Amino acid sequence: MTRFFFPTLAGLALLTCLVADPALAQNMAAGIPAFNVASGADGGSTYSLSLQILALMTGLTVLPSLVLGMTSFTRIIIVLSILRQAMGTQQTPPNQVLVAIALFLTMFIMAPTFTEMNSTVITPYLDGLMPADLALVNGANVMKDFLVNNTRVNDLVMFTEMAGDEPYASPEDVPLTVLLPAFITSELKTAFQIGFLLFLPFLVIDMVIASILMSLGMMMLSPMLVSLPFKLLLFVLVDGWAMTVGSLVATYAGG
């Protein structure tokens, strides 16, 4: 992780310096032909395609963190992992399958938010009807609606007080520096609550099987091995995957 962190940090630092000081960018352009900076008539600066690609690649490295921190992915993957552990199936389903399930469920849950962002922000920006800075603000407000609607009030109040701010009048007034950690904390709490409820029936089966084996004197036989078929049978009979997935989707409020 450290190997990828420092190049990303260096890229961000370089981009910040170039944007903040066009003179520095021009001096660098003289020594590095790939970094071409042209001064516009309005006093602005236009950067070369290579520098734009550097900024794009730097942004792509942050994209996984945004997916984890601003969507329903975290809650879903934690619940599925706890469910797998409760069933005692070791690596079945494998991690790749759990990530794929969590990713597609995230796309389903976030579809209304993404649709609104596409119609109100992305499409006008691509058509040239909205400047980039306004598009970023409007896109952030759309995401804030989803985040605020799915964040516990106690967590939001806690981080607001830690930041030394007053209560906010509307979701648009909540800064992302306060909203994102509150949302992540709320997601973790909800995920473990759901995981606890999923764990209980499988724990009861393990206890019953262990008691039966103990009464029969089968000390050397693993209760986990004997209870596994019964847990799988119970999970299939109650249509556990549909219930789990449906319950996860139903826990989210609309953006």
Q: What are the start-end ranges of the E strands in the chain?
A: 37-39, 45-47
* Distance from C-alpha of 90 to C-alpha of 109, rounded to nearest angstrom: 28
CB 252 within 8 A of CB 91: no
The pLDDT value recorded for residue 16 is: 45
- Which of 172-198 are b and which e, b meaning 16 or more Cβ less than 10 Å from the residue's Cβ? eebeeebbbbbbbbbbeebbeebbeeb
Helix or strand or coil: residue 138? helix
Q: Could you say which DSSP state residue 120 is in?
A: I
pLDDT of 114 > 50? The answer is yes
For 164: left if phi > 0, alpha if psi spans -120 to 50, otherwise beta; the answer is left
Task: HSE, CB side, 13 Å, CA atoms: give it for residue 146.
Answer: 22
The pLDDT value recorded for residue 206 is: 85
Each residue of 86-110: pLDDT tens digit?
888 878 888 899 999 999 999 999 8
Q: Which residues partner with 46 through β-bridges?
A: 38
Position 57 confidence tier, pLDDT thresholds 50, 70, 90: confident
Closest by Cα among 73, 83, 72, 74 to 238 = 83
Closest by Cα among 104, 80, 92, 100 to 195 = 80
Position 9 confidence tier, pLDDT thresholds 50, 70, 90: very low
pLDDT of 20 > 70? The answer is no
The pLDDT value recorded for residue 226 is: 81
Which amino acid appears at position 49 of this protein? L
* Distance from C-alpha of 119 to C-alpha of 246, rounded to nearest angstrom: 27
Each residue of 179-205: pLDDT tens digit?
888 999 999 999 999 999 988 888 888
CB 39 within 8 A of CB 22: yes
The pLDDT value recorded for residue 46 is: 57
Which of 34-38, 118-122, 214-218 shows the lowest per-residue confidence on average (mean pLDDT)? Answer: 34-38
Position 37 confidence tier, pLDDT thresholds 50, 70, 90: low
The mean pLDDT value for 152-177 works out to: 84
pLDDT of 79 > 90? The answer is yes
- What percent of the chain clears pLDDT 90, i.e. is strictly above it? 13
Q: Tell me phi and psi for residue 166, to 5 degrees.
A: -85, 165
Each residue of 119-161: pLDDT tens digit?
888 888 888 888 877 888 888 888 888 888 888 888 888 988 8
Q: Which residue has the tokens 């759309």?
A: 142
Would the pTM count as exceeding 0.75? no
